[in-house]
Amino acid sequence: MGSRRPALSFVSTFLCASALSACTVGPDFLRPKAPENAGYTAEKLADTVSADIQGGVTQRFVVAKDIPGEWWTLFHSAALNTLIEEALKANPDLAAAQAALRQANEIVYADQGAFFPTLSASGSATREKISAASLAGFGVSTSPRGARSIPPFSVTSASLSVSYAPDVFGGTRRQVESAEAQAEYERFELEATYLTLTSNVVNAAVTLASLRDQIAATDEVIKIESDQLNLLKHQFELGAVSKSDVLTQQATLAQAIATLPPLQKQLAQARNQLMTYLGRFPNQDKGENFVLASLTLPEDLPVSLPSKLVEQRPDIRAAEAQLHEASANVGVAIADQLPQFSITGQLGSSASSFDKLFSPGGGLWSIAGSLAQTIFDGGTLEHRKRAAVAAYDQSAAQYRSTVLSAFQDVANALRAVQTDSDALKAQLLAEQSAHDNLDLARDQYKLGAINYLTLLTAQQTYQNALLNRVRAQAARYTDTAALFQALGGGWWNRADVAPETQGRPDRFAIPPVQEIGLPLAR
């Protein structure tokens, strides 16, 4: 019966320590409330204007419409979908973000181990011989002859040790909370990387399509100007025009040809950039081609409610996680100023041989509790606490800045969608007018009704209008992609997102930074 008392005493001490671990110092984190009276535009959103060309459809803004997880499929391009799937599998930035999240989760699991006692086992076997002289120091009387007859002996021992640091003031819980918030930050950094990657692939595809169309348009202009040069040469041979007109046309043609290399350089660089997104080297280009006519412009555009934007933007959720981490670190700093408790216990046995190790009378045990309190440290712990509070203030300000930037992004994207639709309509009209004017000018020039400079002006006007129309056409697609990106990209609707991160409950709802207190929160 007596042998059970140490174990019962240790269990009682452990339970008492666990009961003491019921309060947690520092502020309890609450999620920031959604901004009040926030919006994207001062006026009501109106449908975009239409233009009679690919990518010129009317787009309607649908308030509170949800965003699909794979929003890029709304462009209805199988080639684009294939590229994005490849990028999601092979992009190294995405792989790095995934590894960072795994690392953060493992740190959480490691920190959670502090909630449990540490149990360790040890054993030893020693063979030794001592002299009678050493025993005489303890009052043991031995003769020289007896001392020489003391044989060697063995000591065998085994023990089980337990150590535990009760989390009396919640410092360990705050440390784990901080690690969990860091993992949450990495979680949404991964989502931000995912969103940025998919948006970049879409923009790269649109850029490639735009550059190809610009090159095709330039080739058309070069053909028109080459035909005009041949006509002028023929007229010069007949004496109908001057040598100056021929030279001017040659210079104009040369200028048009000179615009091709920069476009081809941009096309090559855009392809190299796309290869990087796909995790390929530049020489691994498989020749995927895009033209604007292969992309469908989505007609219904979602506009998330302002109160929902803070839930949907990965960068806002990441900033919120940093704020949560800073809040928990305040509690860690406060707990470090308070007494630190620890409990240790040992249960074992010692004998002269292994077969006698667990015989009666060989048992040994010990149990100890300790308390440590810093009395003077030159203000180190106090200043660390103040630094933690200042870090909370910094994170709160950065959170507000992130929210403001997010609303700005959406407002800019909405404005771009509207104004660039107006621009495409105007550029299309300008191109059509310039084309008709060029046809008329060529006919009039053949009849001698206008001089060559008038014809040259018509050629240059058409060239500029054609290229500007192609750029305006591409802008409609990039604006749409930018809007989906600004609204968060629909990550919450993807099948590969953990359910617990979709629409998190309001258990985190947070006070303004000026209201942060430092109470003992139970």
Classify residue 188: in a domain, yes or no: yes
pLDDT at 143 over 70: no
pLDDT for residue 506: 34
Classify residue 161: in a domain, yes or no: no
Tell me the per-residue pLDDT of 408-438, one tens digit each, with 9 for 90 and over. 999 999 999 999 999 999 999 999 999 999 9
Tell me the per-residue pLDDT of 226-239, one tens digit each, with 9 for 90 and over. 998 998 898 888 88
Q: What is the CATH number of the domain that holds 290?
A: 1.20.1600.10
Classify residue 401: in a domain, yes or no: yes
Tell me the per-residue pLDDT of 269-327, one tens digit each, with 9 for 90 and over. 999 999 999 999 999 998 888 888 889 999 999 999 999 999 999 999 999 999 999 99
**Strand pairing class (509-510; 363-372):** unpaired
Closest by CA to 322, choosing from 386, 391, 383, 390, is: 391
Using alpha carbons, list the distances in angstroms from residue 498 to 56, 332, 492, 504.
38, 29, 9, 11
Q: What is the tally of structural domains in the chain?
A: 1
Closest by CA to 318, choosing from 90, 101, 490, is: 101
Classify residue 87: in a domain, yes or no: yes
Helix axes 78-90, 92-112, angle to 10 degrees: 50
Classify residue 237: in a domain, yes or no: yes
Classify residue 415: in a domain, yes or no: yes
pTM for the predicted model, two decimal places = 0.84
Classify residue 129: in a domain, yes or no: no
Alpha helices in 342-451 (DSSP H): 380-447
Mean pLDDT of the chain: 86
Cβ atoms 457, 426 nearer than 8 A: no
Classify residue 157: in a domain, yes or no: no
How large a percentage of the chain has pLDDT more than 70?
Answer: 86
Tell me the per-residue pLDDT of 31-61, one tens digit each, with 9 for 90 and over. 999 888 889 988 888 999 999 998 899 999 9
Q: Which domain holds residue 51?
A: 33-115+170-338+382-503
